[in-house]
Structure 1
């Protein structure tokens, strides 16, 4: 009975806070939610890391058959889920980034899947333009990431370079550019996974893993 009374008192306290300061309730609710960013960063990082083996020419194109399931299940779905929780937390940047890049992995997976079934024929020029457009999107996300921590800043910087190299590599059927894009992909994946690891570690114990200072203040 005492526990029930304590819960009832807590509910009454929350009602009083809501009546006096609704914004404070939002902050309390937000603090009760786990930070979804490490999940999205890990999903993005590990999927990018695997695909970069193909783009860099380390693995043959047949390895895409392994990349695809990961692209749908982890790179795609997990990032869309992360984006939904970022929206719930009121994080516009996180919502836009994770939802967009989660959608990218679905785009990539469907492209390869439909091509394998011979439903479509992939135009290298159209693919190149699509990747360059993703590069432009990443460019303005990077411009905003400069006001966040350095690790995220580097993630978006090298992702932008990767998209541009892969885009022009596809458009001009230039293997060298594609492999350079794969190398940038490895670097991107490293920063994404490190950021994920650092956020998780710093949430469990004292902040010991640095994320770096932003280039510009908010």
Structure 2
């Protein structure tokens, strides 16, 4: 295996792990399922793991020639760093909602751009898009129920990304083979 392939695989695994943990913390905090834990409590993790680490992983992926993952991880690192450092600022709920909706556009772009990566890879970005969309609309409409729904979707996206990283390290499957039924029938 070449160094570029090894670097690409390790950056993908580390990127999924950082994204998964950050989404899981943000999502669980947004749901209110744990007393006295809110989305803002994930700010430290979002800043350093989701922001700085994910941005650096993106730069490493770009250096290894992986434009798709490099762009995704660098952009998501910028999002999480901005979100993590801005939590608690005196901005309005409308400004927070607009911020989340604008970043939902990034997640939508990543979803469309990852169509060649398979349903699993595309699913994480698709779930992130839905989570940001629901959370952003919830903030704009002052609707806590939409915010909680967005939190649940973010938590599921986080679990999916975390599973992707764990599966890569453990050698578990990340997709179902399409031809397995045809092979079993013959």
Q: Quote the offset at 1:175 in angstroms.
A: 0.4
Q: TM-score, normalised by structure 2?
A: 0.86
| Residue aligned with 2:116, SS | coil
- CA RMSD of the aligned region, Å? 2.1
Highest Rg: 1 or 2? 1
Match runs of 1:1-80 below 5 Å: 28-31=2-5, 33=7, 35-59=10-34, 63-64=38-39, 66-80=41-55
Deviations 1:99-153 (A, max 9, x none): 011111111111115x2xxxxx211111111111111111121012121122111
Does the 8 A contact of 2:29 with 2:40 survive in 1? no
Aligned to 2:181: none
- The match for 1:209 among 143, 154, 173 is 173
| Residue aligned with 2:52, SS | helix
Structure 2 residue 126 is matched with structure 1 residue 157: yes
| Residue aligned with 1:148, SS | helix
Aligned to 2:184: none
- The match for 1:107 among 62, 82, 85 is 82
Does the 8 A contact of 1:54 with 1:60 survive in 2? no
Q: TM-score, normalised by structure 1?
A: 0.74
Q: C-alpha separation between the residues in 2 aligned to 1:35 and 1:47?
A: 18
Aligned to 1:88: 63
The number of residues matched between the two structures is 177
Q: Quote the offset at 1:39 in angstroms.
A: 0.8
Structure 2 residue 157 is matched with structure 1 residue 193: no
Q: Which runs of 4+ in 1 moved over 4 A?
A: 60-66
Structure 2 residue 103 is matched with structure 1 residue 134: yes
Q: C-alpha separation between the residues in 2 aligned to 1:40 and 1:92?
A: 14
Decide whether aligned partners of structure 1 residues 60 and 170 sit closer, same or farther in structure 2, where only a CA change above 3 A counts. farther
Unaligned runs of 5+ in 2: 179-186
Decide whether aligned partners of structure 1 residues 94 and 213 sit closer, same or farther in structure 2, where only a CA change above 3 A counts. farther
Aligned to 2:139: 170
Q: C-alpha separation between the residues in 2 aligned to 1:56 and 1:63?
A: 8
Q: Quote the offset at 1:66 in angstroms.
A: 4.2
Q: Quote the offset at 1:94 in angstroms.
A: 0.5
Q: Identify the structure with bigger relative contact order (alpha carbons < 8 Å, sequence gap 6+).
A: 2
Decide whether aligned partners of structure 1 residues 49 and 186 sit closer, same or farther in structure 2, where only a CA change above 3 A counts. same
